[in-house]
Amino acid sequence: MRDFYGTTLKNGLMLGTAQYPSPAIMVEAFKRSAACVATVSLRRESGNDRAGQDFWAIIRDLGVHVLPNTAGCHSVKEAVTTAHMAREVFGTKWIKLEVIGEEDTLQPDVFGLVEAARILTDDGFQVFPYTTEDLVVAGKLLDAGCEVLMPWGAPIGSGLGLNNPYGLKSMRAHFPDVPLVIDAGLGLPSQAAQAMEMGFDAVLLNTAVAKAGDPAAMAEAFAGAVHAGHLAAAADPMEPRDMAAPSTPVLGKAFLL
């Protein structure tokens, strides 16, 4: 696996911690999937009265890397403030940076995202930016100090999968040495496998697992898909071709005269 700010993850599955029917089901999902990163959102009140400490204790007991996020932030100031609170509460330099610019699709405000990424990087954060597959924006995020990019597959919570395979493949080809994570929009394990087959380093998802009829079983299914996709990419898969090619050689075949 590729390093994320100097940390080598044991697999490419990152799971969110919201929307599960119960904390016990969330814990079981992490156990069965062996996901190595948990994303955790922070609300403003947590920074003042330490609300949610029981939940934080559950997250610590998972024994995974914690990636706080700035979910729900719509401005640079709000995202930067939330990131500083998260560093205080969770004790990590990692931050999943979200600056939302459009309500219906929850598409990132890429202008604010770049600005916030530069501010946080200068403040010592290790930023995981939730972005689009736009190559120009990606380059500006890297120039701002980001060492990881997290393009969306589809709108958050939609389950639509990879809406723009061409754009995502282009990003992978354009930035071969940058850790890339598909963040948001995955609904099925097959979509996660597709992302890994493209050469992405990890996938991050929440709703597809938390809202499944059996979240723990779905989490395990995603883990298997991520592993299969990673193995397939490493195995150097065949190129697609327009014409058929026999799998059994014709050499030595009997011909009737």
Active site residues: 96
Q: Domain spans of the chain?
A: 13-235
| 72 marked among binding-site residues | no
| 185 marked among binding-site residues | yes
| 92 marked among binding-site residues | no
> Is a pLDDT exceeding 70 seen at residue 50?
no
| 82 marked among binding-site residues | no
Edge-first strand listing for the sheet containing 94-97: 150-151, 126-131, 94-97, 65-69, 37-41, 13-16, 202-205, 181-183
Residue 235, number of CB atoms within 10 A of its CB: 9
Q: Which fold has domain 13-235?
A: TIM Barrel (3.20.20)
Q: Angle at CA 3, nearest 5°, toward 96 and 20? A: 40
Q: What is the pLDDT of residues 157-187, one digit of tens each?
A: 999 999 999 999 999 999 999 999 999 999 9
Distance of CA 162 to the CA centre of its chain: 12
Please state, in angstroms and as integers, the Cα–Cα distance from residue 161 to each residue in 204, 217, 256, following that order: 12, 19, 51
> Is a pLDDT exceeding 60 seen at residue 45?
no
Angstrom distance (rounded) from CA 198 to CA 173: 9
The residue length of the chain stands at: 257
Q: What is the pLDDT of residue 253?
A: 67
